A and B are shown apart, each in its own frame.
Chain A
Amino acid sequence: MRTNDIILQTVTKIVSFIILMFALHIFFAGHNNPGGGFVGGLLTSGAIVLLLLAYDIKSVANSLPIDFKIMVAVGLLFAVGTGVGSFLFDVPFLTHAFGEFTLPLLGKTHLHTAVLFDIGVYLVVVGSTLTIIQTIGEGE
């Protein structure tokens, strides 16, 4: 007999949003504060694992139709892409560039290409964590 997990599901629905928001905060805090792509990615996969605990594997896969193996590939592409991009400016592999920009909302911002590399790390971490968990979960 299946128990009724309505409380767990309702709380999960709200809490997972806060976790995802905190993951974004951690991700953007990476440069000057503790945080970055790795913890941000782990927190994001933590939110999805919470969803997997509250719902079954099938309904989560229906609601988030993402192939996490492709997500890993896209993440690696981001990381390699920022490295290769440095060749365009005649500098060694993985040389990063940065600059001060004035953006409409953020004001004076220090933009760094390391963020693009971090997005790659983020996607790889989320993709590989969830591939591991879903593969183990699906196996009988």
Chain B
Amino acid sequence: MAFQILLNFLLAFTWMFFESSMETSTFIIGYLLGMLVIFFMRRFFSSRFYVYRIYSIIKLILIFLRELLLSNLAVLKVVLQPKLNIRPGIFAMETKLTSDWEITLLANLITLTPGTLVVDISPDNKILYVHAVDIEDAEEAIEDIRGSFEKAIMEVSR
């Protein structure tokens, strides 16, 4: 991905020299045309066309913002309840992610989902221990959310 972005910048500068104009607009046009050329030649790279990855990063950010809003509303609901009828608990969750930053990102995203909090990670980076505010209905719903997060992160790193 980094190589493709670097190449795109190089092509944009090449375009500026071809046009002998050092303006920002020429750079942007060169960048867009370079993106077109890289898209045309995308199968010669070992990794995907980098714009797909940027798209999945934006998607991950949007998921993050949505979950942040939802988790705060859920906490608001729990706090404002007159009776405290929650059943907290801790469960283990396996993850397929391998690199350090992926696991950190997943843990932080889980912490921001409604009613869950990552307590600990096993030494071999395979299992996350998650504390749930309401363990009864949590398990299923959290598996779903975790699936969407893990998938979104994998789409970024794949």
Contact = CB atoms under 8 A, between A and B. Distances in A.
A31 interface: no
Contacts of B41: 16-17, 20, 63-64
Contacts, number: 45
Contact of B14 (A21, A51, A62, A105): A21
Contacts of B37: 17, 20-21, 24
Contacts of A16: 41
Contacts of B43: 62-64
B155 to A, nearest CB: 23
A29 B130 CA distance: 61
Interface string B17-55: 011000001001110011011101101100000000000
Interface in A120-136: none
Main secondary structure of the interface of B (DSSP, over half): helix
A110 interface: no
B68 to A, nearest CB: 33
Contact of B33 (A24, A62, A63, A106): A24
Contact of B44 (A13, A21, A24, A105): A13
A27 to B, nearest CB: 10
A106 B40 CA distance: 23
Interface string A1-44: 00000000000011011101110110000000000000000000
B25 A107 contact: yes
B19 to A, nearest CB: 7
Contact of A17 (B11, B18, B19, B25): B11
Interface in A37-95: 51, 62-64
Nearest to A14: B7
Contacts of B30: 21
Nearest to A19: B37
B15 interface: yes
B109 to A, nearest CB: 36
Given A64-B40, A105-B28, A106-B25, 7 more contacts: A18-B11, A20-B37, A21-B11, A21-B34, A24-B15, A24-B33, A63-B41
26 contacts: A13-B44, A17-B7, A17-B37, A18-B11, A20-B37, A20-B41, A21-B14, A21-B30, A21-B33, A21-B34, A22-B14, A22-B18, A24-B33, A24-B37, A25-B15, A25-B18, A25-B19, A51-B44, A63-B43, A63-B44, A64-B43, A105-B25, A105-B28, A105-B29, A106-B25, A107-B25
